[in-house]
Amino acid sequence: MAHIIGLISQKGGVGKSTLARLLAREFAAQGWTVKIADLDISQATCAEWCRLRQAFEKTPEVRVETFGRVDQALADADRFDLILLDGAPHATAATMEIARKSDLVVIPSGLAVDDLRPGVVLAHELTDKGVPAERIVFTFTRVGDSAAALDDARTFVQRAGYEVCAGTMPDRIGYQRALNQGLAPTETQHASLNKRAEEVAQDIVDRLERAIVREVA
């Protein structure tokens, strides 16, 4: 049965689908059988990325399918090691189902309070309905170069009771160019950008492993 990572957000444009593609590529590179379940049918961002990746014959291969419901996305979970549930870019009824089904819930956010507050509100809604806080982690994506802004954002989330990934992904055109060619954020032409993305991916890998251990215990 697949392990499940849910990627959710209260608003669009915070890097959710970018993270899905990053994680899919990194797990697949380690020999995992991976599927991204793209639950945003209106945009199907990950599905289009997969088409480009296949057209450019990039490896490792990543499977992406679009679904209207979470139960449909998980119907063949026994065929995969990992399923990434890429939710719609706003909170829906499916968001709660994603969170409940996931071993780890990732909430991407920018550094502005306008991004952080909706993410924290969403996390509170999840915990109020029984999702353990330790299964929720925030990631900072599309960030600038201000260390002070990053520290402020990290403090904001931690004071709300949630953990934050150690790594961050800056807002750089190199990532967008890679995604436009069916590549992942660790496959850019810039070693420094690849390293930043690898740090984010590794943190989430480590957190998933700890979540699995807690579940078994």
Beta-bridge partners for 7:
86, 106
Cα first-last separation, the chain = 17
Q: 85 lies in a domain?
A: yes
| Average pLDDT value for the chain | 94
For the chain, what is the domain count?
1
Q: How many other C-beta atoms lie within 10 A of the C-beta of residue 115?
A: 21
pLDDT band for position 42 (cuts 50, 70, 90): confident
User: Which whole number is the average pLDDT over 166-182?
Assistant: 95
State the amino acid at position 127 in one-letter form. Answer: T
Q: Of 45 and 91, which is predicted with more confidence?
A: 45
Question: What is the distance between the alpha carbons of residues 170 and 102, in angstroms, rounded to a whole number?
Answer: 26
Q: 207 lies in a domain?
A: no
Lowest mean pLDDT among 8-17, 21-30, 92-101, 152-161: 8-17
List b or e across 84-101, with b for residues whose CB sees 16 or more CB atoms inside 10 angstroms: bbbbbbebeebbbbbbeb
Q: What is the pLDDT of residue 217?
A: 64
Q: 214 lies in a domain?
A: no
Q: 162 lies in a domain?
A: yes
User: Which whole number is the average pLDDT over 134-161?
Assistant: 95
CATH code assigned at 194: 3.40.50.300
CB 140 within 8 A of CB 106: no
What sign for the dihedral angle of Cα 180, 85, 5, 25?
negative
Q: 38 lies in a domain?
A: yes
Q: Residue 69 belongs to what domain range?
A: 3-200
Q: 55 lies in a domain?
A: yes
Longest dimension (CA), the chain: 45
pLDDT for 46 beyond 70: yes
pLDDT for 215 beyond 80: no
Which tens digits make up the pLDDT trace of 1-34? 899 999 999 877 788 999 999 999 999 999 999 9
User: Which whole number is the average pLDDT over 150-159?
Assistant: 97
Q: 125 lies in a domain?
A: yes
User: Which whole number is the average pLDDT over 161-187?
Assistant: 96
Q: 137 lies in a domain?
A: yes
